[in-house]
Amino acid sequence: MDEAPIPEQVYPLTYKLEVHNPPLTRTQVTEDRNRGAGDAALLFSLVYPPDGSFKILMVSVDGRTGDELTDDEVFKVWAMAASRLGKSETLAPWKKEIAQTFFDTFAEIVRNGVPADKDGPRIIIPR
């Protein structure tokens, strides 16, 4: 018996990041309503293959340098995402608690700094 062919992956969404040198002005950006703008971008491309799996590709670019974002910059974005998720009205309570606890710990470190004799804080999720 012949095996059924594996369906080809289809993509209903495409994207393109461009670095402009010299940078575009606000007027140039707003003339094209299909264009967003910023100094840097971090994009998570989600793919749902026909086999039911889930894949993520992370793409980043610092438009000021043309390089990928540093891990420190990605960490900042992750912390800000945690803040948003901690306030979510649709996320499961346990997920919100994890996100908010991470963000609160991050915010405390930003306010107070990390002691020089430590590698960083331990994040403890209360039970």
| Whole-number average pLDDT of the chain | 83
Q: Shortest CA distance to 83 belongs to which of 107, 64, 66, 67?
A: 107
Q: What are phi and psi of 92, to 5 degrees?
A: -60, 140
Provide the residue count of the chain. Answer: 127
Give whole-number Cα distances, 39 to 62, 70, 98, in Å.
7, 14, 30
Per-residue pLDDT, 82: 94
Residues whose CB falls within 8 Å of the CB of residue 109, separated by 6 or more in sequence, listed in order? 120, 121
Per-residue pLDDT, 87: 94
Q: What is the mean pLDDT of residues 92-113?
A: 88
pTM: 0.69
Per-residue pLDDT, 109: 80
> What are the tens digits of pLDDT across the range 9-63?
788 888 888 888 888 888 888 887 777 888 999 999 998 888 889 999 999 999 8
Q: What is the mean pLDDT of residues 74-89?
A: 92
Per-residue pLDDT, 20: 84
Domain ranges, ordered by start, for the chain = 1-69, 70-127
Q: Shortest CA distance to 12 belongs to which of 58, 41, 45?
A: 45
C-beta of residue 69 within 8 angstroms of C-beta of residue 60? yes
Per-residue pLDDT, 58: 92
Q: Which of 19-28, 71-80, 113-122 has the least mean pLDDT?
A: 113-122
Per-residue pLDDT, 70: 93
